[in-house]
Amino acid sequence: MLSLPSSFLGSKPSHTYPVDMKILSCLSAILLFLFFSASFAEQNVRTERISGSAGDVLEDNPVGKLKVYVYELPSKYNKKLLQKDPRCLTHMFAAEIFMHRFLLSSPVRTRNPDEADWFYTPIYPTCDLTPTGLPLPFKSPRMMRSAIQLISSNWPYWNRTEGADHFFVVPHDFGACFHYQEEKAIERGILPLLQRATLVQTFGQRNHVCLDEGSITIPPFAPPQKMQAHFIPPDIPRSIFVYFRGLFYDVNNDPEGGYYARGARAAVWENFKNNPLFDISTDHPTTYYEDMQRAIFCLCPLGWAPWSPRLVEAVVFGCIPVIIADDIVLPFADAIPWEEIGVFVAEKDVPELDTILTSIPTEVILRKQRLLANPSMKRAMLFPQPAQPGDAFHQILNGLARKLPHDKSIYLKAGEKELNWTAGPVGDLKPW
């Protein structure tokens, strides 16, 4: 800009004016553009946009991309179970129930099964609770089998693909392996009838029997209203370095330790119980949610299964999750860049956890906090009632939409059978 006046002065005004005016207008346009982009950038520096591996998929709208048909099952598979025990609505496996309710009133639902891309079976396999509120998975395989027998005999859509365009929500500990003990779950493997279907489950571990390749991992259910009731103002300074509340030793089932959490939680306790930077204990404080909002790092170690609602709570409260679970597959891993948001620590590195956490550069930590502050991140982890755009229900639908269009090979020719209806333990074959 400084050179222009001299050119103005030194040049003849008549024919050089238009050229100089063009340069002037171009430069001013560029400057204006830079100014506006700078101001936008300043707004965005507060919270960063999450870009997943497939672009900004967190904000995709699934409506119009897929159609889901909801089977009409007798209420003994869903409503009666809920009536028997309404605690199913509040425990961490409640996603199956809320997914059903969401689909019933969602715009992706279609009443015409011939135009549906995906078929949903409203069955609540995790709603058989003990008096203390824990689900027993022993009847679930039989229930699932009986439901599939029903849909395969009443509708032709199961048999035409043997379930390859059907999806099921199985939020139990080890998904469709239907057992809470890992060895037994591995022994059973995924229910044979569900081998071609898409499973929407909370369990995710690489190279594990109970995680099928095409499964969609979802976060466990955490009650959104309860969490939102405990928000504290964001300007309260974060003064806890590392925070964790939970068991380190499971004295009832694993008294010597080493079995529960593969020894990782016990290692955290033994190494850091005297470290003032680590606020870890087995207490049940009433200020649990508020404390998480005052911590920088929240530990999310594995327990009997690698997943836990702690991840959801950490993300909602803006605390950087420190994930200690080898080979875990985190929810919506294809839409959320977990490496940029959380810290992954191998189980063998737990004794050096303090070194690892303090050696993270400051800029990286601030960036992770900015990413976590993005509201779309928090929304994607929750199952709010009623459903909101960008929440976990929509992320599940987005995941299903990304698997479309179905490959032509899933449609079986007449008479072709892939599934073995008699496979599995004998006990599973009994009617439910």
The one segment of 49-57, 104-112, 182-190, 332-340 that binds other proteins by CB under 8 A: 182-190
Q: How far apart, in Å, are the Cα atoms of 411 and each of 102, 331, 402?
A: 28, 29, 19
Find the binding residues for other proteins in span 79-118 (CB under 8 A): 92
- The structure tokens listed for 35 are 């100014």
Q: Smallest distance from the beta carbon of 354 to other proteins, in angstroms? A: 6
Would you say 260 or 317 has its CB closer to other proteins? 260
Q: Smallest distance from the beta carbon of 257 to other proteins, in angstroms? A: 6
Find the binding residues for other proteins in span 341-370 (CB under 8 A): 347-348, 350-352, 354-355, 357-359, 362, 365-366, 369
Q: Which of 10, 64, 237, 386 binds other proteins (CB under 8 A)?
A: 237
Q: What angle do CA 58, 64, 66 make, to 5 degrees?
A: 85
Find the binding residues for other proteins in span 191-210 (CB under 8 A): 205-209
Q: What angle do CA 101, 421, 147 make, to 5 degrees?
A: 20
222 residue type, one letter: A
Task: Name the 3-class secondary structure at 210.
Answer: coil
Q: Which of 127, 305, 323, 401 binds other proteins (CB under 8 A)?
A: 305
Would you say 63 or 333 has its CB closer to other proteins? 333
Find the binding residues for other proteins in span 45-84 (CB under 8 A): 46
416, exposed or middle or buried, with CB in 10 Å at 0-12, 13-18, 19+? exposed
214 residue type, one letter: G
- Which DSSP letter does residue 348 get? G
Q: Which of 304, 333, 337, 344 binds other proteins (CB under 8 A)?
A: 304
Would you say 256 or 283 has its CB closer to other proteins? 256
Q: In this structure, are residues 342 and 368 in contact, taking their beta carbons and an 8 Å threshold?
A: yes
Q: Smallest distance from the beta carbon of 319 to other proteins, in angstroms? A: 11
Q: Smallest distance from the beta carbon of 367 to other proteins, in angstroms? A: 11
Question: How many helical (H) and strand (E) elements, i.e. helices and strands, does the chain have?
Answer: 16, 10
Whole-angstrom Cα distance, residue 366 to residue 172? Answer: 35
Find the binding residues for other proteins in span 370-399 (CB under 8 A): 373
Whole-angstrom Cα distance, residue 400 to residue 332? Answer: 11
135 residue type, one letter: P
- Which DSSP letter does residue 138 get? S
Whole-angstrom Cα distance, residue 20 to residue 81? Answer: 80
Would you say 373 or 412 has its CB closer to other proteins? 373
Q: Smallest distance from the beta carbon of 126 to other proteins, in angstroms? A: 12
Residues 6+ apart with CB under 8 A from 137: 125, 126, 128, 172, 173, 178, 179, 180
Would you say 46 or 408 has its CB closer to other proteins? 46
Q: Count interface residues toward other proteins (CB under 8 A).
A: 82
Q: Confirm or reject binding of residue 303 to other proteins (CB under 8 A).
A: yes
Would you say 267 or 401 has its CB closer to other proteins? 267
The one segment of 120-128, 302-310, 383-391, 396-404 that binds other proteins by CB under 8 A: 302-310
Report the chain's terminal Cα–Cα distance, integer Å.
83
Would you say 4 or 364 has its CB closer to other proteins? 364
Find the binding residues for other proteins in span 116-155 (CB under 8 A): 130, 132, 134-136, 138
Would you say 29 or 327 has its CB closer to other proteins? 327
